[in-house]
Amino acid sequence: MIISVVGHGYVGLVTAAVFADLGNTVWVLGRDPKKIEELRRGKVPFYEPGLEETVKRGLKNGYLKFTLSYSEAISPSEVIFIAVGTPGDKNGEADLSNVFIVAKKIARHITGYKIVATKSTVPPGTNQKIEEIMEKEKEKTASFDIASTPEFLSQGTALDNTLHPDRVVIGTKTQKAREILVRLHEPIDGEMILTNVKTAEMIKYAANAMLATRISFANLIALLSEQVGADALTVLKGVGLDKRIGKTFLSPGVGFGGSCLPKDTKALVKITQKAGVISEFFEAIIKVNEEVRKNFIQKIKKALGSKPQGKTIAILGLSFKPDTDDMREAPSIYIIKALQNLGVKIRAYDPKAMEKAEKILSWVTFLKDPYQTCSGSDILVVLTEWNEFKELDLLRVKELLKKPVVFDGRNIYNPEKLRELGFIYQGVGR
Ligand code: UGA
C-alpha cells in the first residue's frame, strides 16, 4: 500500500518506519526543511532503540520517503495518518491546533478517495471536527473517510510495541475504510478492536488513564506505607500477584513523567468537566503524582540539614524513564529545580539525556559517568532506573561520596544490602 504519515515525532516516525519495514511505501510529511533533510540522511532526532537502523533500512530500500510537499505525498497515498503533537495548553486541555492545520492541508490536496486516520491522542469528538474542516476545504470531486487509529507505543520499546502490540484499535464510520485499514494492519500481530471513531478515541485516553491510575495508586500506597511502617514493595507485590490485578505499572517512585501520561490525565480532567462528569478522580491522580515528588524532595532536604548551601548532590538519571533521551515532564526537572532553590550544587549524569537536559538545567554540572558524578558529592540521588546504575560498584561509590547517603527514587537497590555496605539508604515507600 502507499500511505502518508504527517509528523515525525515518536508516534509518526515509528509508525512510518514499521509500515515501511512491512513493505509499504510510506511518505513522511514534515514542515521543517532542516529536520526533513536530516531524516533523509537517516538521522533520527531522538534516541529510540533500533529506530535509526529501521529508518536507514527503509531509506535504503526506497520504502521510506521524507518530504515537505503535501502534493507529492498525499496524491499517491491511500491512507494518510495524522501523527502530530497535541501538547497540553495552559489550561491543561489538548492543543489541537496542529491537528486542524494538518487536516486542512490534507483536504486541499486530496483527489479521488482517501482515508484520513488520526494517530495523535485527541479528545473524543476531535475526528468529527476534522471531518467538518476537511469537508469545507476539499475539492468537490474528492472524497474521504475519517478514522481513529490510536497508538499505544511506549518510549524505549516503541518498535516492538508497534509490531507486536497488545491490540490494534481501528475506529471507522464506513465499511470501506474499515476494510482498507484492516488490510494495512493485517501483518501486525495484535488483537484487533474494530469499533466506531469516538470509542477508539476514548480507548486511548482510558488506557493512559488506567496506567496513570495504577502508578498513582502505587505511589499513594508508598506514601502511606512510609507513615505506618510497612514496606510498599512487598505490599504491592502482595496486591499484584492477584491475577485479577496484575503486577505491572505498580512500581512506586518519583512519579510519572513523559509526554503522555501527565498531559493526558490533565486533559481528562477538562474532558470530564466539560462532559459534566465527576473529575475529582483524575485530579487526585495528578495530586498524588505531585505529592510523591514533594515527599521525596522533603526527605532529601531533611538529610541536608539546616545549612544545605554549598553542599553537593549527585544525580543519576535525568530522562523521564530509561531507554529514552526524552526530558519532557521528567520528574528530575522538578526535583533538581527544588534542590537548586536550597543553594546546593548539582552534579548529574544520564546515559542518553544529558544533551537535552543541558538546555533545561543549564546550571547543573554534567559528568561523563556515575563515578565522576559521585566524586566529592554529599548525597547520591537516583531518579531514573537505567540498568547501568543497577550494576554500579557500590563500594567504589561509597568511597567517592563524602557521606554514604543514597536516595533511591526508583527503588533499584536492595535496602538491606546497602545498609550492610554501610550506606544510609532511603527508597520510596520502604
Ligand atoms: C505511555 C503509555 O505507557 C503508552 O502505552 C502510550 O502509548 C504512551 O504513553 C502514549 O500515549 O503515547 P510512555 O510515556 O512512553 O508511554 O511511558 P510509560 O512507560 O507509560 O511511563 C510513564 C511514566 O510512568 C515514566 O515516568 C515511568 O517512570 C513512570 N512509571 C511507570 C512509574 O513511575 N511506575 C510504574 O510502575 C510504571
In DSSP terms, 59 is beta-bridged to: none
Residue 287 pLDDT? 98
Residue 151: partners with Cβ closer than 8 Å, 6 or more residues away: 11, 15, 83, 119, 121, 162, 204
- Ligand 1 centre to CA of 335 (Å) is 19
State the distance from the centre of ligand 1 to the C-alpha of 320, rounded, in angstroms. Answer: 9
* pLDDT number for residue 322: 97
The mean pLDDT of 194-198, rounded to a whole number, is: 98
Per-residue pLDDT reduced to its tens digit, 385-407: 999 999 999 999 999 999 999 99
Residues 6+ apart with CB under 8 A from 232: 218, 221, 222, 224, 225, 226, 252, 428, 429, 430
183, three cell numbers: 488490510
Question: Could you give the count of Cα atoms lying within 13 Å of 76 in the half-sphere of its Cβ?
Answer: 12
Mean pLDDT of 194-220: 97
Residue nearest to atom 6 of ligand 1 (CA): 152
Q: How far is the CA of 382 from the centre of ligand 1 (A)?
A: 18
pTM for the structure as a whole: 0.95
Q: What is the pLDDT of residue 102?
A: 97
CA of 51 to the centre of ligand 1 (A): 19
Q: Is 251 in the pocket of ligand 1 (CB under 6 A)?
A: yes
Q: Is the CB of 317 under 6 A from ligand 1?
A: no
Are 390 and 414 in contact, with CB atoms under 8 Å apart?
Answer: no
What is the CA(349)–ligand 1 centre distance, in A? 22
Residue nearest to atom 29 of ligand 1 (CA): 256
7-21, 87-101, 410-424: least confidently modelled range: 87-101
203 lines ligand 1 (CB under 6 A): no
Cell of 313: 548532590
DSSP calls for 129-189 = HHHHHHHHHS-TT-EEEEEE------TTSHHHHHHS-SEEEEEESSHHHHHHHHHHHTTS-
User: Closest ligand 1 atom to the C-alpha of 212?
Assistant: 24
* C-alpha cell, 299: 526527605
- To test the pocket of ligand 1, the residue of 291, 321, 350 to mutate (highest count of ligand atoms within 8 Å of its CB) is 321
Q: Is 260 a catalytic residue?
A: yes
pLDDT score recorded for residue 110: 96
pLDDT, one tens digit per residue, over 31-66 is 999 999 999 999 999 999 999 999 999 999 999 999
Contacts of residue 341, Cβ cutoff 8 Å, sequence gap at least 6: none
**For residue 359, what pLDDT band results from cuts at 50, 70 and 90?**
very high
Per-residue pLDDT tens digits for 60-107:
999 999 999 999 999 999 999 999 999 989 988 999 999 999 999 999
Contact 297, 335 (CB under 8 A): yes
Ligand 1 pocket residue status of 81, Cβ below 6 Å: no
Which of 215, 239, 327, 389 is the best mutation target for the ligand 1 pocket, counting ligand atoms within 8 Å of the beta carbon and taking the most?
215
CA distance 109 to 117: 15
Distance between CA atoms of residues 89 and 224, nearest Å? 33
| Residues in CB range of 259: below 8 A, 6 or more apart | 10, 85, 87, 326, 328, 329
